[in-house]
Amino acid sequence: SNTLMAGKRGLIMGLANDKSIAWGIARACADAGAELAFSYQGDALKKRVEPLAGQLGSKIVLPCDVGDEDSIDGLFKALRTHWSSLDFIVHAIGFSDKNELRGRYVDTTRGNFMMTMDISVYSFTAVMQRAEKMMKNGGSAVTLTYYGAERIMPHYNVMGVAKAALEASVRYMAEDLGKDGIRVNAISAGPIKTLAASGIGDFRYIMKWNEYNSPLRRNVTIEDVGKSALYLLSDLGSGVTGETHHVDAGYHVVGMKAVDAPDI
């Protein structure tokens, strides 16, 4: 534990359970002295998120469905009753119909395309519109993306298209909000077994491939992502904005299968 985040207040969006990337980030921030608030989607998650928040000393646990503008307004209205200002925000939210996270991208339906873009891309912009107003002393925001934005990955399909748009939105928001000292970055995490990831076809195979072929010859953990998020969210990242930072055991620099990789 350290004091990097002492005196800083942050909102964590996208915690579902203790496997969530949001949990790795929340723990790293709390260990560094941050005061945290959490939002959860739907009543079913409330009873999971409240005890986890409690473990990190947080009593601020609020509902928010990011597909609904009124719900986002409600979240920030409620947050303001607890805090007058906000220092950082974590957006760890994505969603697509799992029937379209297999098979061909070209078969994506219009309805799921729009829904995936809405929940996985626009929601971060919508949230930053509200967060900006509370970040009176500047601030830092981090969202989560994946290499499927840059290269074809099996089954990632419409989510890859959405992550490409998310990364572009990070760059545009970095410009818009930079003048007010607000930094906006993305972490491109390697594959991690979470609830959201379980919807992706052949995910076990993808995990094995990354383990055998990444320079570090392992998969990353939510603790790895948490530590890198801490850098971007704290003063350590003061000169960094608009960036997509890979926390993927180096996989994104690899050109071909490793010569020592076993068959899978």
Helix (H) or strand (E) holding 24: helix 21-31
Chain position carrying tokens 């000292």? 181
- Site map (CB under 6 A) of ligand NAD, residues 105-144, x = contact: --------------x------------------------x
Task: Establish whether 241 is an annotated binding residue.
Answer: no
**Residue 40 annotated in active site:** no
C-alpha span between 173 and 188 (Å, rounded): 17
Catalytic-role residue among 146, 147, 231, 251: 146
Choose between 86 and 206: whose C-beta lies nearer to ligand NAD.
Answer: 206
State in Å, rounded, how far the first CA of the chain is from the last one: 39
195 lines the binding site for ligand NAD (CB under 6 A): yes
Choose between 67 and 242: whose C-beta lies nearer to ligand NAD.
Answer: 67
C-alpha span between 216 and 219 (Å, rounded): 8
CB contact at 8 A, 175 and 122: no
Least Å from the CB of residue 204 to ligand NAD: 12
CB contact at 8 A, 113 and 158: yes
Task: Establish whether 66 is an annotated binding residue.
Answer: yes
226 lines the binding site for ligand NAD (CB under 6 A): no
Q: Which of 14, 160, 226, 237 binds ligand NAD (CB under 6 A)?
A: 14
**Residue 146 annotated in active site:** yes
C-alpha span between 231 and 209 (Å, rounded): 28
Q: DSSP E strands: which ranges in the chain?
A: 9-13, 35-40, 60-63, 88-91, 139-145, 182-189, 244-247
How many Cβ atoms are within 10 Å of 58's Cβ, its own excluded? 20
Task: Establish whether 258 is an annotated binding residue.
Answer: no
Catalytic-role residue among 40, 147, 156, 231: 156
Least Å from the CB of residue 50 to ligand NAD: 14
- Residues making contact with ligand NAD (CB under 6 A): 14-16, 20-22, 41, 45, 64-67, 92-95, 119, 144-146, 189, 191-192, 194-197
Binding site for NAD(+): residue ranges?
14, 20-21, 41, 65-66, 93, 163, 192-196
Catalytic residues: 146, 156
